[in-house]
Structure 1
Amino acid sequence: MGHGGNVIDELVTDHREVEEFFGRIERLPSGDKDRKVYADQATMELVRHSVAEEEYLYPAVRKHMAGGDALADKEIDDHSKAEQIMKDLEGRDADDPEFDRLIGMLMSEIRSHVADEEENLFPKLRAACSADTLDNLGDKVRQAKRMAPTRPHPSAPNKPPANKLLAPGAGLVDRMRDALTGRGKKD
């Protein structure tokens, strides 16, 4: 979290980190308790990443890109689907029969979303924005990720200004819960 560079570099690095967690999950046998640890770590990163995109990236897409409203709406819809899967996965242990189905759905949804962003959205954004704009967005995204929630909140607002007002408070509560429960940590 917080890698530096412009917004595209920052978000692509996040994508690679999540894919690393997915790879770890896939390399472990079904029912292995570490699959849950890696699923929690992936979820924590995905939620922070999604919140930052919704706060800063998608408003920039709306502002700077032709057809930006439709693009941003599609990306937010993708986030909503993934967030509901993460919420359903949150209460499942690795040996729960539903865990494998849900983690498979999440990986498929995220991989499709990442491919779409990296192949379509990011090149168009790079063409539409100046280097300074992309750098400034990178700084804002890094700041948002530091304050963002770490647990899925599917019913929370996903568009400014409400999301910018509510995310830091939810993030504080989530980080406290994570610290108290050891969520995302190996034994």
Structure 2
Amino acid sequence: MGQETPAENGAATAAATPPQVKMQVLAQYVRDLSFENVVVQKGLTAGEVQPDIQVAVSLDARKRPVANQYEVITKFKVTSKNKVNGDVLFLLELEYGGTFHIEGVAEEQIHPFLLIECPRLLFPFVRRIISDVTRDGGFPPLNVDTVDFMALYRQELARRAQAQAASAAPSSQVN
């Protein structure tokens, strides 16, 4: 039996270690932004206001024509209603995108990577924009709670699996 040379040993070690993940943010941008101050538009009286704020988050990702480049869009819809009477106080919709160069991520892992890690990097900028826009729109600045993108991804997978199971179930017909 021959002994392993240092070069062979190094090659075996390199083959055992996964490739190094490289991610670079190439661009960040506001794709769409809308803010409606309904209180001012409708001339609602202040009266008693107890804001109830709902935040809906959705994500979209796609491969770009350039090798290893992806675009990720985070979509936030923030609705503030008065708990007292249900009147809408304001509505904010923001689509914030990023262009990423990603290498070293296995093909089967790219989808979760794009919808978990990339939005996680974009989120602090989204939070700042929402805070600034609500403040500039005449309301106290809204500091959106941190979004758990991993939980959001898992919920979407569960929802899709449930929808697929429902559509695959045989329908019962009564004649």
TM normalised by structure 1 equals 0.25
Choose between structure 1 and 2 for higher RCO, CA contacts under 8 A separated by at least 6 residues.
1
Larger Rg over CA atoms: 2
Greater helix fraction, Structure 1 or Structure 2:
1
TM normalised by structure 2 equals 0.26
Greater strand fraction, Structure 1 or Structure 2:
2
